[in-house]
Amino acid sequence: VRHGWMAPTHVLRCCQRGLAWIPVIFIALVVCWSYYAYVVELCLFIYLTVFHVSFIMFVWSYWKTIFTRPATPSKEFCLPKSEKEQYEKEQHPETQQEILKRVATSLPLYTRTGAGAIRYCDRCQVIKPDRCHHCSACDMCVLKMDHHCPWVNNCVGFSNYKFFILFLTYSLVYCLFIAASVLQYFIKFWTNDLPESHAKFHVLFLFFVAAMFCISILSLFTYHLWLVGKNRSTIEAFRAPVFRNGPDKNGFSLGFSKNIAQVFGDQKKYWLLPVFTSQGDGFSFPTRLVTIDPEQPTECLQPAGLDKG
């Protein structure tokens, strides 16, 4: 009976994985069509150089966002064999927490659950590093998880957050450039000044699609730039991380310039390239106790690492 139950579950899981690629395939088809409509049908030679630069950077960053595997906790965050056996046999949550606390003393952990407990994933059987969360879609714990994005069929986190920001950047540039350069032909279409050919319908839809994506991407792009400036993830923006001294929405903020460097790295020449340059290892992050917005320099803030309470 159990084998018969597992078979449909496996088939359902395979179907879900297949359907998850539909948004990615949709975006790929739209991009391929936009390339055909712009380069083949309109053939705007003056603009082709800028178009191809934005197109290549967009595709490159989109590819990296999709196919960069989410980073997961290392073995040091797994319970040792003896403690794991004790944890699984123990029925009382208080005693389980004592086991986790003993193991966590050697780990770089500053955040806790809302109740002040050690964050542990029963599904992955690991102690969660700071800013790590379990993704139900990927069925894994993801380091510095931001969100699961259906448009890339992947989790956006520590390993590919920079690529995701660049994907939004270049997709916005791509759409803006197409909309701006096609606008004159779009106006001619409505004034009947455009010569009769099947290319006129590509002009019509190319402008509408570019404008539509431009508007939708702009809000998302602006929001994530704000998150980068504050050194917050989407999850942390909705639910402040809990430290030993309580919830603190600015707990990981180091000031605007250092927050930018956390995602893009120290060397500015690599900022616009979809190559990994983010600071840190994804397991631990610089943090400090804050009671005010760090963007308002009115107090001297004490590093959380100095807090021994």
CB atoms within 10 A of CB 223: 13
Q: How far apart are CA 16 and CA 18, in angstroms?
A: 5
Q: Where are the alpha helices (DSSP H) in the chain?
A: 2-19, 22-35, 48-67, 81-89, 93-104, 161-190, 199-230, 234-238, 256-264
Is the Cβ–Cβ distance between 286 and 299 less than 8 Å?
no
Nearest to 244 by CA among 103, 143, 147, 101: 101
Q: Which residue numbers are catalytic?
A: 149
Q: How far apart are CA 135 and CA 302, in angstroms?
A: 33
SS3 288: strand
Q: How far apart are CA 140 and CA 123, in angstroms?
A: 8
